[in-house]
Amino acid sequence: MQVRKAVIPVAGLGTRFLPATKVIPKEMLTVVDRPTIQYIVEEVVASGIKEVVLVTASGKSAIEDHFDYSFELETFLSQKGKLDLLKEVRHISRLIEVVSVRQKEPLGLGHAVKVTEPVIGDEAFVVVLGDDLVESEVPCVFQMLKVFERVKEAVVAVQQVPANEIHRYGIVEGEEVEKGVYRVERLIEKPEPGTVRSNLAVIGRYVLRPEIYGCLDRTLPGVGGEIQLTDALDILRRDRELYAYEFQGRRFDAGDKFGYLQATVNYALDHPELGGIFKRYLMDLVKGLDA
């Protein structure tokens, strides 16, 4: 089953970043020199997927505009001879084909995925959250697609988290069937301390089969009164096998202020133009603090 489409839910209000996100979508906050959503889309494209379904809400049009053609801007840059910037702007508008679907109520990630059913139909698809940035040599989505090709079943990305953070995530319990790949035996959304025997946390990458839509129909509101994708996946694994993949790379929760700062520092250090000078700045800063 070929995977041709990616779903990116971007309908959230971004309350953890208020007041910055009062008008600007949180996905448009920049990490170094590009918005977080562009990193996500570039990962998807680098994994061989060209069609993106954005699950949006009121006030999110800036995201769609970012990936659209801008005649005025391109004409201005061309006339001014700013060819490097023109190349970058054209690169953005040619990255993907975008379809937008409205999530009219904030009823959770499961609900956000459910509203894409008329667009996705009976295809397998990827879900990538706009908050989660993964820095890796091989794109995280591409790694997951390779696992999906082998197991032919839904795959969720997981990482090990400290015990004191387990309550913040959906947690996977299961049997390791090959290095880094687990057959899921249980999924628990934001478990109470001491109620699980695993520290494998689900992060914002999923490869799903179309059967997930039927499972979402059977999913009752869970934590926070929302339709949780984790709960739907737990229903799915009772009907057919479900796998978790411990991906290679470093993940940053850019929807959290501290995670956003971590992402900014790490991506800045890797930046081809800014990396060297920024590293020297940080070293001088640390020396000043130690003095």
Overall pTM surpassing 0.85 (yes/no): yes
Q: Tell me which H or E stretch contains 155.
A: strand 155-160
Distance CA 85, CA 69 (A): 14
- pLDDT by residue (tens digit) across 235-258? 998 889 999 999 999 999 998 899
Q: What is the DSSP string of 91-133?
A: HHHTS-EEEEEE--S---HHHHHHTTHHHHTTSEEEEE-TTEE
Q: Is omega for the bond preceding 19 within 30 degrees of 0, making it cis?
A: yes
Ranges of each domain in the chain:
3-255, 256-291
- pLDDT by residue (tens digit) across 44-102? 999 999 889 999 988 888 888 877 777 677 777 777 687 777 777 776 767 777 888 88
* CATH number for the domain formed by residue range(s) 3-255: 3.90.550.10
Distance CA 240, CA 103 (A): 28
3-state secondary structure of 151: helix
